[in-house]
Amino acid sequence: LLRSSQPLTGPNRRRCREDERILGTILDEGERGFIIDTRSAQAAKQARMGGGGTEPKGAYPQWRRLHRALERGRPLQESFTRLVEACGDPSLSMDRWLARLDGSRWLGHVKAALSTACLAAQCLDREDSKVLVHGAEGTDTTLLVTALAQLILDPSCRSLQGFQGLLEREWIQAGHPFQLRCARSASSHARGKQEAPLFLLFLDCVWQLGRQFPLSLEFGEELLLTLFDNAYASAYGTFLCNNERERSLCKVKERTHSLWAWLNQPEERHKFLNPLYSHNPLVIWPSVEPQSIQLWQGFFLRWIRPSQHLEEARGEIRRLVEGN
Amino acid sequence: MEHIRMPKVENVRLLDRLSSRRAVVGTLYLTATHVIFVENGSETRKETWVLHSQISSIEKQATTATGCPLLIRCKNFQVIQLVIPQERDCHDVYISLIRLARPVKYEELYCFSFNPKLDKEEREQGWKLVDLNEEYNRMGVPNNYWQISDVNRDYGVCDSYPTEVYVPKSATAHIIVGSSKFRSRRRFPALSYYCKGNNASICRSSQPLSGFSARCLEDEQMLQAIRKANPGSDFIYVVDTRPKLNAMANRAAGKGYENEDNYSNIKFQFIGIENIHVMRNSLQKMLEVCELKSPSMSDFLWGLENSGWLKHIKAIMDAGIFIAKAVAEEGVSVLVHCSDGWDRTAQVCSVASLLLDPYYRTMKGFMVLIEKDWVSFGHKFNHRYGNLDGDPKEISPVIDQFIECVWQLMEQFPCAFEFNERFLIHIQHHIYSCQFGNFLCNSQKERRELKIKERTYSLWAHLWKNRADYLNPLYRSDHSQSQGTLHPQIAPCNFLYKFWSGMYNRFEKGLHPRQSVTDYLMAVKEETQQLEEELEVLQERLANLQKSQSGNNKVKSKQQDRSKQFGLYTSNNSLANTPQEYSNDLKSFPSRSPSQGDEDSALILTQDNLKSSDPDLSANSDQESGVEDLSCRSPSGGGCLPSEDSGKDSDEAVFLAG
């Protein structure tokens, strides 16, 4: 599984021998690879006007390109805001609620993200093909797809330790611009152009996986909520800045503490564990039918819905599994 | 058997509903009670059994190159798509099924031929499991305020009511009879639930025949009697569960609702729940959404909204909440009615009772609740669920809605119910299956005339026998959630209502969480119990051996890592993990089907299973999650489990053997 950003083909259909060689050497003789472009075919084409574009077929003969449009940026932010507003509106009738849930399109984005990740996973697992994922910048929807695909495929990413590693690798070090994306409160109305809840979308998708495979993730909802909180405002330096370079310039490692160090302390760690977890060596294929994708109540209704009964249930589960 | 034109057709294809690419070939059989599809192939002769009673509609579709398609839709939401090679055969099957699915006489129904090989004593005992007299006594009646009336002993007053009803002490026979003449279908106000804590009660009836200005002294006295039976309150609520417009329209037909001016000390309340026709259409629309191929999130949500289904569920729930509040918090009695008092009234009374009284949240209590508010009070099972061929306009998913309300509550209060989702689904299944006699006919009178108890078996006994399958591992009777009244959140709460894919997409295994937390926890619970029992035994032995030597070794082995023992329980995925078709571009991919490879989309009921008559799927889901299949619950607490963590190969072996 590879990731990159878009090739700078531009309006003049530039080529780059080095790039072609890299992608060429990755594949064996006669082997086929897939490029999953997280933009629509049209958007990708239009990107040429701005100097970007897609890999021309002729130059990359062994690679087959698939387009899966995933929302990002402002439209994603607005989708999220609409949903949050719908959740908080007490005056809605049931019809209006469903209409606004639908109108927010948020669940559609969750479905699309999971589908694309599954597609990538399928290429790797069932087709034994290599996959290259990129969008425009390679810092948003790209990471969403690669991180989810790994969760689906690789059981080691589903352990608490492994999941932290996945986040470090596929989000933090890969250069998701946390500072730009999470500069202000997620549902704030005063939004910068660069703000978008991509990371939250990822966490939502992870939650969906956990709901469909409740025994297969070593961590629970509590961890996902904690990660969300820390991405926006944190006592730790893990999610600071936009990339490794900035972190290095700011001397983040010398001047702050790591979130992981805190999480992994025994007295903290157990709060985040899923008592039902059992190592599952197999690939977990989620269903992406609409019936299977549900509103992440623990997040969206976090401050709206009384959680007492569900917490009691969680406590009961712990008690059953771990003993009195 | 005279209706069966073609008892057997070969080379029939059973299609996966979602993907025509995945089809199995087999033989179709028609018997007097079932349609059976048996897969060809030497290894797994998988069988799909469908009771005729379950068939809701049959659609013969246009013949294609591959054959003549036949779509069978069932009342338990199973959808079966067959392709029969010869058009003539297809037509014969179609005609036969049409007749078989629309029985004319009760004797045609499966319950009269179903034979679980129990002796007469056991059968009778089964019918005695739920005793309504016991239930009323448990509630605390008869007492100073309430008495049994036998005025209806020969069904002379109201033929859809039971022979024994509970009425206020001050309601004489004269008052009852007079009131019954002023009520639609003569369904006079009678006790549904009595709250001994504060003497408040829930009573039920049908609409008064008040028209625009008619009055009836006895009916007014009846309501007064209800009020007087609760000294703690000086008024009662009268709740009309219809939309105001409908109720008003009824006045033109000489019926209507209670006028606050005429009835002293009542507070009247409309709670608009739509009628059976609206509900029938609503379900229809929702099922159409379920049948969409590859719907987008929007298609689904829009379809769900358009059906209005969740809105109706919420309306029923809101009514129940209102009544429960009136009784528990205000200590005010409530009289509930709709038009005829056998649909919405039943729904609302039973939801309110469930909220109020934790007994109804136990398995036994729930059976009692259904017997009381649905069976005894004359809910028209035959008309509503089509036991016999009848007027399609009478068909409506009334009890289905109630059952869904229970499920919605279970999702909000996971520790409050002794039973699990499977219990609800099986009850729904058997309401339509006519395999047991509980839900036949339209009234107690009809059931007694048919001698149901002498000629059929009780579902309750069957469920009770298998109650281990229906337990909720999170339930503890001493838990705070299981005590007292439940208080669901009201406004905002729309988001709390979820689409019940476990029911409406029941047979599409791939849509549901692939690992069952319930089953896992039940297994843990059982294992814990066994270990604790063993521990006791061993501790005893240790104490005995104390004098001679140290027998520590055996005791220590108990403390093995329990999680390792359960490694097997997660082995579901070998079957469960067939990916859907995530892409149209990759033709080599498995075709789009959440249902994994095999059995899942169909019902397995082999001849052996038939005796225990448990439908299906839940058994399948257990297999997938690898829990139920692993009956290696040997006394040694894990003898046949692998010693290390989930040995994948051994897990798969278990599955393939299943």
Quick check: B323 and B192 in contact, CB under 8 A? no
Contact B281, B274 (CB under 8 A): no
Amino acid B583: pLDDT: 56
With an 8 Å Cβ cutoff, are B569 and A282 in contact?
Answer: no
Q: Vertex A151, ends A146 and A152: CA angle to 5°?
A: 95
pLDDT score, position B577: 55
Cβ contacts of A284 on chain B, cutoff 8 Å: 514, 573, 577
Question: Which of B69, B102, B135 corresponds to the end of one domain?
Answer: B102
Residues B183 and B76 in one domain: no
Mean pLDDT across A166-183: 94
Instruction: Calculate mean pLDDT across residues A94-121.
Output: 95
Amino acid type, A236: Y
Q: Do A282 and B574 touch (CB under 8 A)?
A: yes
Give residue B570's pLDDT. Answer: 39
User: How far is Cα B59 from Cα B637, in angstroms, rounded to an integer?
Assistant: 52
Residues B397, B483, single domain; the answer is yes
Taking the CA atoms of residue B407, residue B282, residue B308 and residue B184 in that order, the dihedral angle to the nearest 10 degrees is: -80
For the beta carbon of residue B645, count every other beta carbon within 10 angstroms: 17
Least confident of A71-85, A110-124, A177-191, B594-608: B594-608
Question: Are B144 and B94 within one domain?
Answer: no
B493 is in an annotated binding site: no
Q: Does residue B601 lie in a domain region?
A: no
Give me the interface pTM, i.e. the ipTM. Answer: 0.94
In this structure, the answer to whether residues B98 and B128 fall within a common structural domain is: no
User: Do B502 and B413 fall into the same domain?
Assistant: yes
Mean pLDDT along residues A48-59: 92
Q: Given an 8 Å threshold on Cβ–Cβ distance, is A115 in contact with B524?
A: no
Mark whether B97 and B160 lie in a shared domain: no
Report the DSSP beta bridge partners of residue B191.
B203
Of B338, B349, B434, B441, the active-site residue reads: B338
Q: Is B485 on the interface with A (CB under 8 A)?
A: no
**Residues B307 and B262 grouped into a single domain:** yes
Domain that holds residue B441: 120-521
Q: Is B338 a catalytic residue?
A: yes
Question: For chain A, what is the radius of gyration of the CA atoms?
Answer: 21
Residue type, B615: P
Q: Does B511 share its domain with B469? A: yes
3-state SS assignment for residue A301: coil
Contact A95 B416 (CB under 8 A): no
Percentage with pLDDT > 70 across chain A: 98
Residue B562 maps to a domain: no
What's the number of domains chain B is made of? 2
**How far off is chain A from B596, nearest CA to CA, in Å?**
11
The conformational region for residue B185 under phi > 0 = left, psi -120 to 50 = alpha, else beta, is left
**Separation in Å, CA A296 to CA A210, A285, B304:** 11, 19, 18
Task: Report whether B201 contacts B232 (CB < 8 A).
Answer: no
Q: What is the mean pLDDT of each run of 10 residues along chain B (658 residues)?
A: 80 79 87 92 84 94 91 94 92 93 92 90 93 96 95 96 96 96 97 95 96 94 96 96 94 94 94 96 96 93 96 96 96 96 97 97 97 97 95 97 98 95 97 95 96 95 95 87 85 88 90 89 91 92 81 45 39 50 46 31 31 36 26 29 27 24
Would you state the structure tokens that stand for residue B608, as one six-digit string? 């052996």
Instruction: Give the C-alpha separation, A38 to B202, whole Å.
Output: 59
* Token couple for A99: 């209409």
More confident residue, A117 or B577: A117
How far apart (Å, rounded) are the C-alpha atoms in residues B156 and B172? 16
Q: Return mean pLDDT, chain A.
A: 93
Instruction: Note the pLDDT of residue B514.
Output: 83
Q: Would you say A33 and A26 are in contact if contact means Cβ atoms under 8 Å apart? A: yes
Rounded Cα distance, B208 and B179, in Å: 9
How far apart (Å, rounded) are the C-alpha atoms in residues B247 and B320? 19
- B278 inside 8 A of chain A by CB: no
Residues B84 and B157 in one domain: no
Sign of the Cα pseudo-torsion (B225, B230, B236, B241, in order): negative
Domain spans of chain A? Answer: 73-125+138-323
- Confirm or reject contact between B474 and chain A (CB < 8 A): yes
pLDDT at B21: 65
Residues B476 and B341 both lie in one domain: yes
Q: What angle do CA A31, A35, A41 make, to 5 degrees?
A: 140
User: Nearest Cα to A215, choosing from B510, B526, B625?
Assistant: B625
State residue B623's pLDDT score. Answer: 27
Is residue B386, in this structure, part of any structural domain at all?
yes
Cα separation, B639 vs B642, whole angstroms: 8
List of chain A residues whose C-beta atoms are within 8 Å of the C-beta of residue B590:
126
The reply to whether B70 and B96 lie within a common domain is yes
Size of interface A-B (CB pairs under 8 A): 191
For residue A107, pLDDT over 50 is answered with: yes
**Is the same domain home to B130 and B67?**
no
Helical ranges in B340-451 per DSSP H: 344-356, 363-370, 381-385, 398-412, 421-433, 444-449
- What pLDDT is stored for residue B117 in this prediction? 87
Shortest Cα distance, chain A CAs vs residue B489, angstroms? 8
Pairing of strands B266-270, B201-205: unpaired
CATH number at residue B19: 2.30.29.30
Range scoring the smallest mean pLDDT among A6-20, A88-102, B141-155, B574-588: B574-588
The reported pLDDT for the residue numbered B605 is: 31
Nearest C-alpha neighbor of B401 from the set B320, B461, B507, B339: B320
Q: Over the stretch A257-314, which tens digit does the pLDDT of each residue have?
A: 999 999 999 999 999 999 999 999 999 999 999 999 999 999 999 988 888 888 999 9
